Structures are given as structure tokens and as C-alpha cells.
Amino acid sequence: MTIKTISVILAGALMLFCAASTIGCCTRLQGGAQGKGIHNDNGEMKMAGFYDYTLTSGTGETVKMDSFRGKVVLVVNTATGCGFTPQYAPIEQLYKDYHDKGLEILDIPCNQFGGQAPGTDDEIHSFCTLHYNTTFPQMKKADVNGANELPLYTFLKSRKGFGGFDEHKYKKLLEEMFSKADPDWASKPDIKWNFTKFVIDRDGNVVARFEPTADMAVVEALIVKLLDEHNK
């Protein structure tokens, strides 16, 4: 192993440690995610669903989840300087292959994990289009954990908590780092890392959560299944 390779590994481990410490802080602040109630047209209280939330696009427009009724939606928090950043490529391929069949992708840049998305919304957009030719919608950079997390993420985490990392070259390192930051980290629903994915079916149900260690082929298989169900 060369000195350069060792340096890269150590640098990556340091970034993971810093991010794990940040996650531990966010976990303590949040203390668990709960769906919120809203009033319907008759003034009655009901639990909010996926279609009741909004996001802000990278260019400042309001994006209503209600506009995605009847679609399969993939929501993913992203970063431009992460070991999982190359996942932009297969995510873009999903969009190219299945957008016309009913798939929508919502990319939410987040700088909470080791400061790996430090740029402005414009800089992040330029990076993604230059390096990965992305065409799926990019939302405004936002928090997905803690006191300032997006309400949509409070809802998503209340529906699908953390179920463990998949077998992956980063699995052991991630688990060790998080354990040092918070002994109870695995029992909490917080987003653990960049490129965590939620899949919402055509009826607005949150049907799956995939950690960044998940095989993208497994993510694709579920999306194809949900899209095909509409055609049966």
C-alpha cells in the first residue's frame, strides 16, 4: 500500500469521525421523529401525509409534494465531497430510464455530515451537471436532522427508521465511528449519512428506506416493481 493510498484512507476516516460527532449531536437534539398533525378543509385535525409537505427548489421555487400524486418518488440527501458521491451516476440513470414511466427524484443537498456539501446551491448544481450530467430536480440545501431539519424529513423518519447498514466496504468504519459518538445511535431514526434514500409509492406511502450502503440494483428493483404495479 502506497503512502498516498494510506493518506487517502486516513483522510476519509477523519471526515467520517467528524461527521459521526455531528450526527451524535443532531440525534440528541432531535430525540426521535414524529409526524405532525394538520387541519383539513373542515377544520378537523388529521395526521400529515407525504402530499401535505413542500420543499424549496435550488432556484427558490416552492415544490409541493402534492404535485407528485400518482408518481413513484425517490427522496435522497446528497453531498458533493463524499465517498458515496459517485452514486449520482446511477441515480441519474434511474431518472433517465424511468422518469417517463412515472419516477420522480428529489435531490436534497445536505452539509450536516462532515461538511461534505459546502458549496452554494448554484455551485452544487454546477458540480453535479459537470461531473455527472444530472438532470433530476435539485432542492435547496437543507438540514435533514436536528432542530432545523426539513419537516418532510421529520415525517419520512417517522415512517421508516434506521434498519442497519448493508454489507459494504464502509460498513464497519461507519458503525465504529457512530458508536463512539453515541452508544444508542442505531436505535434512533436520524439520517446517518449522505445518500440515504426514501421511496414513496404512487399512493404517497413511504415504502422503503435505503442506507447509502445499499446496492443501487436493489433500489432500482423496488422502483421497477412499484412502477409495474400501476400497469397491471
Which residues are tagged catalytic? Answer: 82
Indicate the SS3 state at residue 21. helix
User: 81 with 117: CB under 8 angstroms?
Assistant: yes
Burial class (CB in 10 A: 0-12, 13-18, 19+), 14: exposed
Paired residues of 76 in beta bridges? 107, 197
Q: Which of 123, 91, 104, 99 is nearest to 194 (CA)?
A: 91
Maximum Cα–Cα distance for the chain, whole Å? 68
Range list of H helices, the chain? 3-30, 88-98, 121-132, 151-159, 171-181, 216-231
